[in-house]
Homo-oligomer: A and B are copies of this chain.
Amino acid sequence: MSASALPYRQHNHDACIADALADAKSICQRHNARLTAARERVLELIWQSHRPLGAYDVLAMLARDGHNAAPPTVYRALDFLQQYGLVHRIASLNAFVGCSHAGIRHQGMFLICHRCSNVLELAAPAVSEVIDDAASDVRFRPDNVTVEVSGLCPACADAAHE
């Protein structure tokens, strides 16, 4: 992984993975849901990459582990993780990212850098609000809102006009 491919806001990556896993454990415990080894490993892989990962990327990584997984294993793990809000699915990429606000009620907005592939998840309640307003203007009852912004992250924008 090249330096420019790292998350643009530098951070202690190991710590962030550890935090995510610890959060996941406590959330699952609270819901009497079982964070099995396979599920935990998938979540860990997703956080390690720190970028959107397709189901088959995860599959390949599991294979590299020596873990002989099949597609359903991955999809089920992803479904589970999604259900408890531990990962989000990015529709425009058919891929998954770890949720930065697991456990907190939120409506995510995703900023996806098309140069380094990093994804930043914002809570942005103002965005949700405006969207809800626009929908209710035409008497539409929203159920699930997808907001995905692709563009350039600050680091890549700087790098680009060097």
Contacts and interface: CB of A to CB of B under 8 A. Distances in A.
Interface of A: 91-92, 109, 111, 113-114, 120, 122, 124, 126-127, 130-131, 133-135, 138-154, 157
Nearest to A111: B140
A134 B109 contact: yes
Contacts of A131: 109, 124, 127, 147, 149
Nearest to A129: B130
Contacts of A133: 126
A91 B148 contact: yes
Number of copies: 2
A153 B120 CA distance: 31
A148 B135 CA distance: 11
A138 to B, nearest CB: 7
Contacts of A139: 153-154, 157
A126 B149 CA distance: 16
Contact of A134 (B91, B124, B140): B124
A122 B134 contact: yes
